[in-house]
Structure 1
Amino acid sequence: MLWHAIAPVRRYTKASHDVVRHPRLCSDAKILLLYVQGLPDDETHLALSEHGLKLGIKGRAFQRAKEQLVVNGFVHERRAAGERGLWATHQLVSNVPLTDADALAVWRGAGVGAGDSPSVQFPTVGEPSPRSVGHQLPVDEELGKNSSRPPTEAPSEDEGEVEGAGVAVEVVELSPQEVEAERVLLSLRNFDRQLRLGVREARELVGLAVEWLRRGVSAGELRRVLSSGLPAKGVRSAVGFLRHRLEMKMPEAPAPEPEPVPETESASVSSDLPDAPPTPPTPPRVAPLVTCAGPGNEHVFRAYGGATLCPDCQQAAAWARWAERRAADLGVDLAEDAAQAVEAGRDPDGWRSRLAAAAAGATAEAGGEQ
């Protein structure tokens, strides 16, 4: 290979070899990360998806690249209340892998989520205006027969609907987890049109989706479970199919921690005190990012159950152990080590062909002796 390069003197971005040669990042993820790293300050307010559109990375390709960046610690997202009490999603992109604690420290240093509440702003609701009189009929007034306007009625306190323009719209306040679960359900239409849900249909499944999030499943993993492996004959009912999948594939709930046994004296003292406020719900558990102990470039992954190797390194080690046992059973001495044997097994003249030839020779010798 003939290599020729001229080092640029301006308009360039320094790229780490750990990013360019990262084994768990696709080309779209690397290009998107390097593109964002070289952005000027006046374009950092745009979302990551808008930068992906400028590069031609959109749809499923962008979702795959973003998911790889999130899993490997290069992209972190956080929802926080902004101005006027509105929720906003903040994105943090770094050229090195960051843990959740490191990302939280960066957000705190930047003051993300520390905006003023609506009551702090001045003026809060605008300037006062004089009260208008005579523009609305009283509730108990009876109109004549020729009037075209019906009498006004006092709204009921038990009603949870707002009537306007002849349409009843249900007003429902959702928690942050329910908002995230609803967004995941409504985004399934971007992966397959068979999974298109309406707002009312998604509200029926929000309870099951929230339970997944409470049991430690991330929004990206929940989206992947619901949108992958669709039936070959198609999905007749998106609501029924997703409800069945949410119920049947729901992960196991984490074991509750044992409650301490209160002492007699403390119980007698606490009985005289007023009722304590309810304990807030425990946030969902997310596995931390740890460094893989396997060979190759240094990379991180989310460890579940105390694992020290990423899934790719675990699979490579399993193939190597199987090759060693198989070679020992057939009496074949492989020249390559375990890692090279796995790579050589993919070649037509690799260790798989040698093991097959040795097994055929052993069978022929057994037939000749008989």
Structure 2
Amino acid sequence: MLWHAIAPSRRYTKASHDVVRHPRLDSDAKVLILYVQGLPDGCTHMALSEHARKLGIKGRAFQRAKEQLVMCGFVHERRVAGERGRWATQQLFANVPLAEAEVLGLWCDAGVGIASSPGARSPAVGQPGARTVGHQLPVDEEREKNSSHPPTEALGAEADLEPLSPEGVEAERVLLSLRHASRELRLGVLQARSLVAQAVEWMRRGVSGGELRRVLSSNLPQDGVRSAVGFLRHRLELMMPEAVVPAGGVEQEQEQEQEQEQDPSPSPSDPLPPPVVPRYVAPLVTCAGPGAEHVFRAMTGETECPDCRQAAAWARWAEHRIAELGGDADDWQAQEQLGGWRGRLAAATAAAAARQAEGPKREADMPVPGGEQVAAGHG
């Protein structure tokens, strides 16, 4: 990498290496620090978002940069009561990280949050004028007691909701829990109630609550979800699973529906539903394999657990491999290495490699017939 730099003589801002090389600040946050640090005194009344908009930092990029600056101590905010009881947000920007104790002293020095004296303000009204006529109600209409509390009809909106069935309660719980998967899928109670019927139909068709949550919260649009209730209603209608058809077929189901419509009341001669057969759970069996005593569930009458059967299979394979390599090694060599069939296999492999290395050497050391006579004649 080539490096070339010329120090500016005017219109520059000094930046600390701690800011430029900060590991928790991205490029937008660092540019904001340098930009605000070089502002003139007349532009400090603007909010940080206004300066970021001039730099082209908008939307989620600005929110991410602001969160990093607040977390690292470069930006501090405080809500104070302004004129006429209106709340305002005061921002403190620094080019070095500041603790809360240091920021509190700066707030006090600047007078932020300190209410002024009532006598120091100018009157809120102008010159006295003529009395306005026609804004006062008749005496008959003021008999009721006035109250500053809001009407209570809206407070019982959720209390008027009808109770749900167990399936409806489960479906509502799944819909309200979607906000944990994505903040864009946050629903209110009334919005969730409008989708409960479709969610219950999913569960009646064999979909569990966890699978329903996964289907509704996965593969969200890249540009975001504008309306959570509209998006979920569309997905529930579009991805509705197939209805479960009984074993007797569609014709038998239609006949049963027609009989129920003709005579909806059940008769004593109707057959009882088949009893629910509990799921088979295999018994616990003590493993006959080596090692410490342990148990497992035998599905088809096994006497050893899967791990022991796999270890035995590896041992049988090792015996065949040792036989192919030309026999076993000495017991002390097997014990010196890994032990067990692994040690015996390693020793047999080493012995076979040694035999292969000695073969070419023996062939090179064997005398050539007639070699001595040839050498003598030449001499």
TM-score bracket, normalised by the shorter chain, equals: 0.3 to 0.5
TM-score (normalised: structure 2): 0.41
TM-score (normalised: structure 1): 0.42
Write 1 or 2 for the structure with the bigger share of helix. Answer: 2
